[in-house]
Structure 1
């Protein structure tokens, strides 16, 4: 005969049979931050981004890596890499490794640009847009225009995100950043000046901003519209009906390997797929994408350096292969392709890979020096073909190429390049 229920059985069931509050909240948070909710939030924010571009009649530029998720590929005019860490309180910096001079090409062609980024819950805009990019604009203005437009080369920051005290501290560092840029990078100022008719000035746009009814003109400066894609969420995500602020941030943690180009290519299928089936669909899309052969891109003005993704690349047309990848090509694969020289630089995928690359790059010099014959066509590859391989190419060019792109693979001439700066 069963024992009668006690008060403890009714009111205080054993915790092993009933989830505690913490685990319940964690489960709710995971369901709110689902892949489906992230992708629908990205599409919603993307609609705002394209509206901003239309309002100012300016091209869209992604601040990588988050920004590309919010821009349809057909409307993306370029990429930049302004890091939020260069704008953190007390750590304000002008990166000599991420000069972002390609943004000046976009500005020179269109008169300005809309730079897109986002940030997670708790902030109205990322430090990359409120501080790092304004510092860059100010440094560019002072380096390019000097005394010519002194009154128009002040530092501009958003008062709602940067206090007067912080602004003043940032301002004190600008002239030092300008000196470093001019002395270490030795930029071609006349060439940069030919791209800008007037100084750059940042303008900040969030989803709370009022947009112009018709594209405004800016006679005194080139506008750099700094667009925070996501709207600010003040409460928990669960109170937002599935909307996630900064949904694209740190995509390695939630995307199951999905990339922004693949997302935009298959967004309708992804959005209509259930959360349970999403990982399988993403895996299928990635496999299908990898099945097509990668195409190597020649780095101009050289005639022998190429970069490409490491998956499905035809190796047999190359004499020398340098791979910044998590795992090396197999010896059999290298032998079958007839590759004469192979160097594997072990690098993790994602953010950690750039740190690994800096420790691996010094191996380039003994590798190149050990080659007893012509290096021939050189392939530099990484998982994406867009980041670690580009860094490897830059190091190789700095160490061994002349100004016309001709390689001399002998011992790098002392003083020819600042090799410490390369790494």
Structure 2
């Protein structure tokens, strides 16, 4: 047996293995649930200070932003994706229009949009690029005679002059994509008195009211607030502080949500790390079992309402139940032959998550046929009574799914295109069966739905299923 070398003694495989394990354990302990919640609490204090100093309402860029705002101080939610601001992939989202923010901005002469990002970056792309593009495109659409507001403003310390130039060159295309949706420009314009101007705040900046006072003379300030301070090294050098601790909750939160955290933060922060998963499981179970009220229905288009499955009983037993058709998209797989429960109730078992979104494509022909039969029978009955308007007057379609924001919205979009001739709700007749659908017309209808229901969150897979069904020549 050869004599051991110096490398075998000092850097043996066993030593390297133990060293790697120690480093992994240290990293895991620094990224503990306790450290995440303490970091969120620390960053939330900064966010609330920004609101106090600037005197503007707080808006959470979902999902991460809600962790950093006390629910009692949260005025609204926004949906700006960082991927729409990634270098070379800049985009004005025609799915995430965020028109609802204009009312908040107009009433308060501005707002603060809160978000965070993980270690290494100074601010998320949603704040540095996606929101500036949104502000500029809306300025061009709503204030065409105000050329001073048409230039793109980005944080110069984050976005290079070259990237700024490339983003600016795409603005005409972004404006065209917005106008193609045929938005109600006069109605949107009534919400705000001045163009929008983004500006940026991080924990490294000095806060003063003067930051927005000068801008308010000619613009509504849209303050993009990064809640977490930048960590350049590793978390192990930060004494437990975690940048962007509210991100990637599926990897650490055990089902804990921002509202549950704010309602139970003292108990959560006072519980030993080893007991936290059990406590969180109990809080989540209690919330699901005891506390949730019947879901609210949201009207997204003429005669079309969406909501969560918790609203099913109320919809089926309402005083106007004969005028309501209910389609429930349930998170289990059921045979097609069992879907029709009555002439006005259909329960479609699609399963869960991406599987459900894919199965929606196969279920939409049955759903549209069921709803169209209900509507046409109502139109025929109205005609026999001499009250027909061609619209199935006073008839409503309720679409329900587990979240109330994904599958039900996709089904509503399909019905909006398939069952109605126009945006006024005129029911399609047999003579209209050959009408064509294309991506542009579908996108316009989706824009109507997202404007009416900003919290809607149809997944890409759900929308792909809808497009595939509507544009399939065999239909």
Q: If the length of structure 2 is used for normalisation, what is the TM-score?
A: 0.76
Cα distance change, pair 314–27 in 1 and its aligned pair in 2 (3 A): farther
Match of 2:93 in 1: 95
Instruction: Give distance in 1, aligned partners of 2:222 and 2:68.
Output: 18
After TM superposition, give the deviation of residue 15 of structure 1 in Å.
5.7
**Retained in 2: the 8 A contact 1:294–1:309?**
no
Match of 2:281 in 1: 283
After TM superposition, give the deviation of residue 412 of structure 1 in Å.
7.2
Please tell me whether residue 385 in structure 1 is matched to residue 404 in structure 2: yes
Please tell me whether residue 297 in structure 1 is matched to residue 296 in structure 2: yes
Deviations 1:234-283 (A, max 9, x none): 11101111110000111111110111111111111111111111111111
Please tell me whether residue 164 in structure 1 is matched to residue 161 in structure 2: yes
Q: What is the SS of the residue equivalent to 1:322?
A: strand
Please tell me whether residue 340 in structure 1 is matched to residue 338 in structure 2: no
Instruction: Give distance in 2, aligned partners of 1:301 and 1:18.
Output: 60
After TM superposition, give the deviation of residue 310 of structure 1 in Å.
4.0
Instruction: Give distance in 2, aligned partners of 1:362 and 1:178.
Output: 35
2:191 aligns with one of 171, 177, 195 = 195
Q: Which runs of 5+ in 2 are unaligned?
A: 318-323, 376-394, 447-462, 464-475
Aligned CA RMSD, in angstroms, stands at 3.5
Instruction: Give distance in 1, aligned partners of 2:427 and 2:271.
Output: 50
Deviations 1:90-115 (A, max 9, x none): 11111111111111121122111100
Instruction: Give distance in 2, aligned partners of 1:125 and 1:409.
Output: 53
Deviations 1:15-38 (A, max 9, x none): 669952222211111111111111
Match of 2:364 in 1: 364
Instruction: Give distance in 1, aligned partners of 2:435 and 2:259.
Output: 42
After TM superposition, give the deviation of residue 195 of structure 1 in Å.
1.2
Instruction: Give distance in 2, aligned partners of 1:75 and 1:118.
Output: 18
**Retained in 2: the 8 A contact 1:200–1:221?**
yes
Match of 1:174 in 2: 171
Name the stretch that deviates more: 58-67 or 337-346.
337-346
Cα distance change, pair 202–27 in 1 and its aligned pair in 2 (3 A): same
Q: If the length of structure 1 is used for normalisation, what is the TM-score?
A: 0.84
Instruction: Give distance in 1, aligned partners of 2:42 and 2:122.
Output: 17
Q: What is the SS of the residue equivalent to 1:297?
A: coil
After TM superposition, give the deviation of residue 308 of structure 1 in Å.
3.8
Cα distance change, pair 358–150 in 1 and its aligned pair in 2 (3 A): farther
Q: What is the SS of the residue equivalent to 1:74?
A: coil
Match of 2:450 in 1: none
Cα distance change, pair 281–372 in 1 and its aligned pair in 2 (3 A): same
Cα distance change, pair 53–415 in 1 and its aligned pair in 2 (3 A): farther
Match of 1:3 in 2: none
**Retained in 1: the 8 A contact 2:325–2:371?**
no
Q: What is the SS of the residue equivalent to 2:170?
A: helix
Matches within 5 A, 1:181-260: 181-182=178-179, 184-213=180-209, 216=213, 218-260=216-258
After TM superposition, give the deviation of residue 380 of structure 1 in Å.
3.4
Instruction: Give distance in 2, aligned partners of 1:279 and 1:330.
Output: 37
After TM superposition, give the deviation of residue 294 of structure 1 in Å.
4.2
Q: What is the SS of the residue equivalent to 2:217?
A: coil
Match of 1:71 in 2: 69
Deviations 1:99-145 (A, max 9, x none): 11111121122111100110000100000100011001000000111
Name the stretch that deviates more: 25-34 or 377-386.
377-386
Cα distance change, pair 36–387 in 1 and its aligned pair in 2 (3 A): farther
Q: What is the SS of the residue equivalent to 2:273?
A: coil
Cα distance change, pair 122–51 in 1 and its aligned pair in 2 (3 A): same
Matched residues, number: 408
After TM superposition, give the deviation of residue 153 of structure 1 in Å.
1.8
Instruction: Give distance in 2, aligned partners of 1:211 and 1:362.
Output: 55
Q: Pick the structure with more helix per residue.
A: 2
Match of 1:274 in 2: 272
**Retained in 2: the 8 A contact 1:63–1:115?**
yes
Q: What is the SS of the residue equivalent to 1:227?
A: strand
Please tell me whether residue 129 in structure 1 is matched to residue 127 in structure 2: yes
Cα distance change, pair 93–13 in 1 and its aligned pair in 2 (3 A): closer
Match of 1:414 in 2: 435
Cα distance change, pair 255–137 in 1 and its aligned pair in 2 (3 A): same
**Retained in 2: the 8 A contact 1:36–1:271?**
yes
After TM superposition, give the deviation of residue 388 of structure 1 in Å.
4.7
Cα distance change, pair 407–239 in 1 and its aligned pair in 2 (3 A): farther
Q: Which runs of 5+ in 1 are unaligned?
A: 1-5
Instruction: Give distance in 1, aligned partners of 2:49 and 2:350.
Output: 43
Match of 2:390 in 1: none
Deviations 1:355-391 (A, max 9, x none): 9637735743442214575377654344433455445
**Retained in 2: the 8 A contact 1:294–1:314?**
no
**Retained in 2: the 8 A contact 1:124–1:232?**
yes
Name the stretch that deviates more: 18-27 or 404-413.
404-413
